[in-house]
A and B are shown apart, each in its own frame.
Chain A
Amino acid sequence: MSADEFTRDLERAFPGDPGDLRRLRARLAEAAQRDGILDVAYRTVDSPVGPLLLAATEAGLVRVAYASEDHTAVLQALAERISPRILAAPARLDAPARELDEYFAGLRRSFDLPLDWRLSAGFRRAVLSHLPEIGYGQTASYAAVAGLAGNPKAIRAAATACATNPLPVVVPCHRVIYSDGRVGRYLGGPEAKRTLLTLEAAA
């Protein structure tokens, strides 16, 4: 019996099978939540603009990410910026997932969720915090948004704030477009931005 064969026999005798690990990982997420050490919980939801990664701290929803951003890279960035104590833990994301479902079904026009703004600061944060004032189905120009944030001349900075929004869809940066009608940069790509604007125009 070779060492490799022996190792294979041992692994058969003491399995680490995926079903058991799924169950154990769910149990770990519950225990970590209960013990207050689950700094970031995440889950993925399907949507008309592709799979969205949702991540939340104890304070609230902290990140919504498109597949084009690379969810693995986004989680790595969260580990470095917030905490590496990150687990897939769907329970904390139940409310955001439900509200997004309702939104994409055309049944919800605004989000009522606790948000954790820690990933944006300064003028960018000021810009983003005013975006919910643009109503469902409406659009505003980057200049108008710069004005809402208190600096009408900071158009480029307003555009950057929108393009780096850590909470797309929920914080509606997709409603900000150029005054000549071009949709502008978007984390999920221009196609996703058009999809959301079409959805809101139809509902």
Chain B
Amino acid sequence: MTGKQPFDAVVAQHGAAVLRVCRAVLGPADADDAWSETFLSAMRAYPDLPEGANVEAWLVTIAHRKAIDVTRATARRPVPMAETPDDAPAPAADSAGDALDGDLAGAVARLPAKQKQAVAYHYLAGLPYAEIAAIVGGSPDTVRRAAADGIATLRRTYQETKHERRGP
């Protein structure tokens, strides 16, 4: 195919992955708004996107910024997400946690922001760690470690629940 494809095809190809990422990073309450803002911004900029660019990484970059905006807007105190220490727990107000307590969505919601982003962008958007590092800052190794730590936590908390549920 030569030339840039219709934006509609971009939405068709990447809409689901971006929605999953928004849901994982922000929880269900804010995900719709973040998805809409992401694709509206992307559509505005789409004619200037260089041909051959990694569209999924570009969309996740925009979604990442929108998620920061949404988090800032909903936080009681405007603490920028980028300055949240890696080891700090996610804010208690984080929406997914309460309703889905005990399941994987809840376990993800309780991860620190950097781990949550690394897990979502790598496992749901399929981005390599180097791409994620370019989006969230830091080195690919830092991102890889954040993802590994996140996964380890999820295995501890969620796996136990999963096995309990499989019991009698």
Interface positions of A (Cβ within 8 A of B): 1, 3, 6-7, 9-17, 20-21, 24-25, 27-28, 31-32, 35, 37, 40, 42, 75-76, 78-80, 83-88
> Is B15's CB within 8 Å of the partner chain A?
yes
Q: How many Å lie between the Cα of A78 and that of B9 in the bound state?
A: 13
Query: What residue of chain A has the Cβ atom nearest to residue B25's Cβ?
Result: A14
Q: How many Å lie between the Cα of A3 and that of B21 in the bound state?
A: 17
B124 touches A14 (CB 8 A): yes
B111 to chain A, nearest CB (A): 12
Q: How many Å lie between the Cα of A125 and that of B19 in the bound state?
A: 44
Tell whether A10 pairs with B124 under 8 Å between CB atoms, given A1-B155, A84-B6: yes
Interface positions of B (Cβ within 8 A of A): 1-9, 11, 15-21, 23-24, 32, 35-36, 39-40, 43-44, 46-47, 103-105, 108, 119-120, 123-124, 151, 154-155, 158-159
- CB neighbours (8 Å) of A25 from chain B are 11, 15
A32 touches B6 (CB 8 A): no
A10 touches B6 (CB 8 A): no
Q: How many Å lie between the Cα of A87 and that of B43 in the bound state?
A: 10
B20 touches A86 (CB 8 A): no
- Total inter-chain residue pairs, C-beta < 8 Å: 110
Tell me which of A16, A28, A42, A83 contacts B36 (CB under 8 A): A28
A35 to chain B, nearest CB (A): 7
A14 touches B8 (CB 8 A): no
- CB neighbours (8 Å) of B105 from chain A are 13-14
Tell whether A27 pairs with B8 under 8 Å between CB atoms, given A10-B24, A16-B19, A79-B3: no
Tell whether A35 pairs with B40 under 8 Å between CB atoms, given A14-B23, A21-B19, A79-B6: yes
A27 to chain B, nearest CB (A): 6
B104 to chain A, nearest CB (A): 4
B40 touches A1 (CB 8 A): no
B16 touches A21 (CB 8 A): yes
